[in-house]
Amino acid sequence: MKEYKIAYGNSFKKFLSYLINAIFNFMFISLLAVVLDVIVLYFAHPSTFYIIFTIIIFSISTATAFILSVKPKKVIVTDLAVLVKRNSIYVLNDLFSDCVLYSQIKSCDMYYDERIKFGWDGKKYAVRAFDWDCAVQIIDNRNKEYIIPIENPDDFIDDVTKRVNEYRRKNGLEEICF
């Protein structure tokens, strides 16, 4: 298992990425808190309990959004998969991280295509603001693209390529060259 750091480029981009993540996390968690609050209001008419409950729910949601947002993002290469720890609760299908199994990886290369669309183009970005010169693109069997900025992209690509081919060799699959 090996960990790789996210390449933000500079401290402003890192701050911006953390801020965007915090805003989205806070909005999503607040929406859940409002729904829970409405359910409680339906059963417990306005009272001291309701006010205290509302304050507790919104305090917990704010703290959760903040903690998730400042928690370091990283990429972990294991024996079976590449894990991208995003710590984003607002992405419902993959709550806190993306997991790309070696059996699903079609390619792993430097990313040279068009830049910044904030993830609304079907690609899965590890973070929102980063150093585009260090962006690595992983494409899986379903043609889902993962854009991951890595501090040492060449080492990461070599490591993933080696592990994917080793996995394929063990399981009798055809090796691939990226």
Side chain identity at residue 153, one-letter code? P
Average the pLDDT over each of 25-34, 129-138, 139-148 and give the range with the smallest value. Answer: 25-34
The sheet with strand 145-149 has its strands ordered as 105-110, 135-140, 145-149, 124-125
Q: Are strands 97-101 and 81-85 parallel, antiparallel or unpaired?
A: antiparallel
Pick one of 2.60.60, 1.20.140, 1.25.40, 2.30.29 as the CATH number of 74-170: 2.30.29
Separation CA 122–CA 171 (nearest Å): 30
DSSP 89-144: TT-SSSSSEEEEETTTEEEEEE--S----TTTTS-EESSSS--GGGEEEEEETT--
Q: What is the mean pLDDT of the chain?
A: 80
Q: Which residues pair with 137 in a beta bridge?
A: 109, 147
DSSP conformation class of 171: T
149: left (phi over 0), alpha (psi -120 to 50) or beta: beta
Mean pLDDT for 98-103 is 86
pLDDT band of residue 4 (cuts 50, 70, 90) is very high
Q: Bridge partners of 109?
A: 137
Structure tokens at 64: 């959760």
Residue 105 bridge partners (DSSP)? 140
Cα 101 to chain centroid distance, Å, stands at 15
Given a cut of 50, whether residue 93 has pLDDT beyond it is: no
Beta strand pairing status for 97-101 and 74-77?
Answer: unpaired
- pLDDT mean over 79-101: 72
